[in-house]
Amino acid sequence: MEAAVTLPTAADVDAAARRLAGVAWRTPLLTSAALDAMTGGRVFLKAETLQRTGSFKFRGAYNKLAAIPPERRAGGVVAFSSGNHAQGVAAAAQLLGMPCVIVMPRDAPRAKRERTAALGAELVFYDRARDDREAIAAEIAERRGAVLVPPYDDALIIAGQGTAGREIVEDLSALGLTPDIVVVTASGGGLAAGIALAVRARVPAAALYTAEPQGFDDHARSFRSGRREQNAALSGTICDALMARMPGKLTFAINQSLVGAGVVASDAEVAAAVAFAFSELKLVVEPGGAVALAALMTGKVDVTGKIAVAVLSGGNVDPELFTRLVA
């Protein structure tokens, strides 16, 4: 199958790390005595909220754009995203001097719309319920001679996201530790796939889990059925960053093999995790970025006596929503 020959490897993650060196920020692993007491484990939080543009998405976007040959860059890039991928692509395009168009749903959080535009991107809006964002982006790319930058189902995107997993293992190793469990938020599955490639190459015995919002648990259901399952709803969760319809083809091929288990958190549990991160860690975490933390806080993943890592994948939250959640 074509997917079998295009799947990225741990070596591709290493190549992405070299490409991103000095450009992406090495985000810290944070700890909380309160979280350790709550879970019974030794928990580290990978704070991708502190990455450029406020989420892990910059890693994959820059890796993808930097790999475009100079002679193809004049046409620019086109991406479709509700916000975090949009900002990552826009920032990478700005750094590389490339035109950028972002196809974005009209109901995307205002903060994400404004920040994407501030990074120099041209925004094209669509109706999430009626329009086909991929078709819109493909038409624009063809008309302008631009490169289409998918949000997750792309080998370079996956490899770029995997650099976060590489850092997790390296930074724990510097402390004399190895991860027993890694929990990663999932939408299309690119972050989980990249981290799985990087972590499993270095710590084969590590257990990995995807974490998703209730009603958008396509990975968890797909792992159980053995095939890609589709979510029934298009919206209806505070986790606006995690509403992909189903796992990607490439990402599921990796995650089915290297992850294979998923957990789910309700909006109320996610809200509690957002509030915890703010009060205990002084971090602003968007709901979609807090699902892995919510899974640990509620015992969905048992980390008793284990070295565990949860990825805080993004911090681009609407101010009004954030105020309600932390209150």
Percent of the chain with pLDDT over 70: 98
CA-nearest of 205, 161, 202, 203 to 184 is 161
pLDDT digits (tens, 9 = 90+) for 22-37: 999 999 999 999 999 9
Chain centroid to Cα 59, Å, comes to: 10
Q: Does domain 58-148 have CATH number 3.30.230.30?
A: no
Q: What ranges do the domains of the chain cover?
A: 2-55+155-326, 58-148
Percent of the chain with pLDDT over 90: 88
Q: Report pTM.
A: 0.95
- CA atoms of 46 and 29, how far apart (whole Å): 5
Residues 284/48, Cβ–Cβ less than 8 Å: no
Q: What is the DSSP letter of 189?
A: S
How much is the pLDDT for 1?
37
38-93 confidence digits (pLDDT tens): 999 999 999 999 999 999 999 999 999 999 999 999 999 999 987 899 999 999 99
Measured distance CA(140)–CA(264) in Å, rounded: 36
Residue (of 87, 101, 63) closest to 190 by Cα position: 63
- 12 and 155 Cβ atoms separated by less than 8 Å: yes
d(CA 275, CA 271): 6
Residue 4: what pLDDT?
A: 47
Q: What is the pLDDT of residue 291?
A: 98
99-153: per-residue pLDDT in tens?
Answer: 999 999 888 878 788 899 999 999 999 998 899 999 999 999 999 999 999 999 9
- Overall fold of domain 2-55+155-326: Rossmann fold (3.40.50)
Render the burial of 178-190: b for 16+ CB within 10 Å, e for the rest: ebbbbbbbbbbbb
Mean of pLDDT values over 2-11? 74
pLDDT at 11: 98
Checking if the pLDDT of 199 tops 60, the result is yes
Q: Please tell me if the domain spanning 2-55+155-326 has the same topology as the one spanning 58-148.
A: yes
